[in-house]
Amino acid sequence: MVLFPPAKINLGLHVLGKRPDGFHALESIFLPLAWTDILEVVVDPHVEAGDMKATFTGLPIPGASDDNLVVKAHRILTQQHDLPGLHLHLRKNLPMGGGMGGGSSDGTFALRAIKDVCDLGLSRETLLAHAAELGSDCPFFVDSAPALVTGRGEHVAPLEFGLLLDGVWVVVANPGIHISTAEAFSGLKPEDRTTPWKRLSTTPLAQWHTLIQNDFESGAVERHPAIGDLLHALREAGAAYVQMTGSGSTVFGLFQDETRARTAGTSCGAQFVGPLSV
């Protein structure tokens, strides 16, 4: 079975007060992109039952393979199911440490692939629970559909309103800067507030900045001016809305004209340019 774990972008990312469990409460709209890794999972008779051979190509993945979320996904399922020997191969295309959710997407899609290959018959609710074990962003990728994400990322609600994004193009650029979670939160001052998310459905793109922001962005730009340079370049190229996504360092611009988007993608060294189909 071959699946294509997608990247995501955040529309707004608001960090609220700390929860009783020590995590910060977050609010954000997550949107999937047609920019993906490639994940293949097959039953392998040469691998012992209950084990999984994991291989990786594409962009180098730092850290031990046992810490990779695709391996952790297999570990979670082996605790409750007798699995055959499996071979998982991940072709890594999405940048790491860039706020695109690629690792979370890979881990969640590994859960989905193993479920189907091994015919486990897991419900959506069970998949969501397993995804929450993997990480805060993971439950979103169970459905990979536009959603309002709250809590520490485990509460995923389909949007109850439409976004006026027909014909909108997204340009995504990564400056090659890795921002750790600890760095992202350093110096951040969470602020409890209420965001009128539904008003995005009736507000022109060029005015979205009056409603939402990425709370991590100003600190990231201060520490890494290259991020601010990319945001400025996208804005100057005609983007109606620009923002850093996640905890950084990837930025994106939303364009209402394909030609401008493609021109901006070339001038900014973008890694992805495409229609935002939501």
Question: Any catalytic annotation for residue 137?
Answer: yes
Which of the residues 8, 37, 106, 115 is marked catalytic?
8
Which of the residues 37, 106, 115, 137 is marked catalytic?
137
Encoding tokens for residue 59?
């962009």
Question: Any catalytic annotation for residue 44?
Answer: no
Encoding tokens for residue 123?
């419900």
- Order of strands, edge to edge, in the sheet holding 52-58? 2-3, 38-43, 86-92, 52-58
Encoding tokens for residue 64?
């031990």
What three-state secondary structure class fits 199?
helix
Query: Rounded distance, CA 116 to CA 163, Å?
Result: 32
Q: Are 24 and 15 in contact (CB under 8 A)?
A: yes
- Cα-flanking dihedrals φ and ψ of residue 147, to 5°? -155, 155
What three-state secondary structure class fits 104?
helix
Which residues are catalytically annotated?
8, 137
